Amino acid sequence: MFNTNGAVESVDKEGTGISRSDFLMKTALIAASVPAVALTWGILSGAHDYHLRRVRLVIRNLPKAFQGMTIGQISDIHTGSFFNRTAVKGGVEMLLREKADMVFFTGDLVNDRAEEVKDYIDIFDKIRAPLGVYSTLGNHDYGAYKGWASPQAKRKNLDAVIHAHKLLGYELLQDQNRTITLNGEKLAIIGVHNISAKESIFYGNGDLAKAKKGTEDAPVKLLLSHDPTHWDKEVNSGFTDIDVMFSGHTHGTQFGVTIGGECYSPAQLSYEQWAGLYQKGAQQLYVNRGFGYLGYPGRVGMPPEITIFELSGS
């Protein structure tokens, strides 16, 4: 079941930030190098140019039973933006070929309306894993950016989004946790409602203390939390027993450029952690670049991502 065949792996290590002057200079280079033809290419080719990223996660206190376990992650599906079912199906099949032991989906199933997902249920419900598929909600899933006729209509839409996770066969964690037990050893999976340090409408949605209640005896805790700003907001300050947090949200702004082997993106203007793997002390955060797209229907230099993690003890 576990992938222990010594497959080649790569770990993304973006810097945590650059100076304002350096960023502005690199942004100017980006603007000069991306004419309209590149943006057109980003729609026709880049939107569904799925990239598989392999990341080795070294985790302290990882029980022997989970050594070599693989986890797949996708995020930010945004079904309301899709225009090519065949390409989307190909991305899902790419994930399935990896035969991950578990799969995490870290939010934003829709742009606003639950009905957006109906034409893609039969594609995304194919995602299965021996130890389960676990999910959480993203900021767009709450319908907060759309005007609704009433609070009841907004709540009905959210209920339909939640039901869609059930139809997909995903175990949606809403300030909840699940414990995986193998050979008597435990690993906890925790999921929260969206928590953001930037958007006040989501500031208090999730409750991490509630979500992790009952996981005290699990030596390893993995957190699904859509917005990476949650990590600095409270995870690495008040909840230091969280080993790894899995996020999405930024999309890497769907635009980037690689200079001298380093990737730069406008996302760096807004997020300290915007794509790839980060570490502070013994805690780690991974920010997935997203499976879908929003607004601009394409990607340039920031391809959609499927991540495969292999767990390793320290």
- For 214-261, write each residue's pLDDT tens digit: 999 999 999 999 999 999 999 999 999 999 999 999 999 999 988 888
Whether pLDDT at 23 is above 70: no
**Residues 6 or more apart whose Cβ sits within 8 Å of residue 172:** 134, 135, 136, 137, 162, 165, 166, 191
Average pLDDT across the chain, whole number: 89
CATH hierarchy code of domain 20-313? 3.60.21.10
State which amino acid sits at residue 57: L
Q: pLDDT, tens digit, for every residue of 176-208? A: 999 999 999 999 999 999 999 987 777 668 999
Rounded to an integer, the average pLDDT of 43-58 is 88
The confidence band for 17, taking pLDDT boundaries of 50, 70 and 90, is low
d(CA 164, CA 157): 11
Q: pLDDT, tens digit, for every residue of 288-307? A: 999 999 998 999 999 999 99
Closest CA to 314 of 2, 19, 61, 15: 61
Residue 314's pLDDT is: 74
- pTM for the structure as a whole: 0.87
Residue 38's pLDDT is: 61
Which position has the token pair 């900021």?
Answer: 139
Rounded to an integer, the average pLDDT of 53-62 is 96
β partners of residue 42: none
Q: pLDDT, tens digit, for every residue of 252-277? A: 999 998 888 888 999 999 999 999 99
Residue 44's pLDDT is: 53
Q: pLDDT, tens digit, for every residue of 127-176? A: 999 999 999 999 999 999 999 999 999 999 999 999 999 999 999 999 99
Write out the DSSP string of 170-192: -EE-SSEEEEEEETTEEEEEEE-
Domain ranges of the chain: 20-313
Closest CA to 224 of 107, 145, 303, 127: 107
CA angle 256, 303, 275 (to 5 degrees): 65
Q: pLDDT, tens digit, for every residue of 78-108? A: 999 999 999 999 999 999 999 999 999 999 9
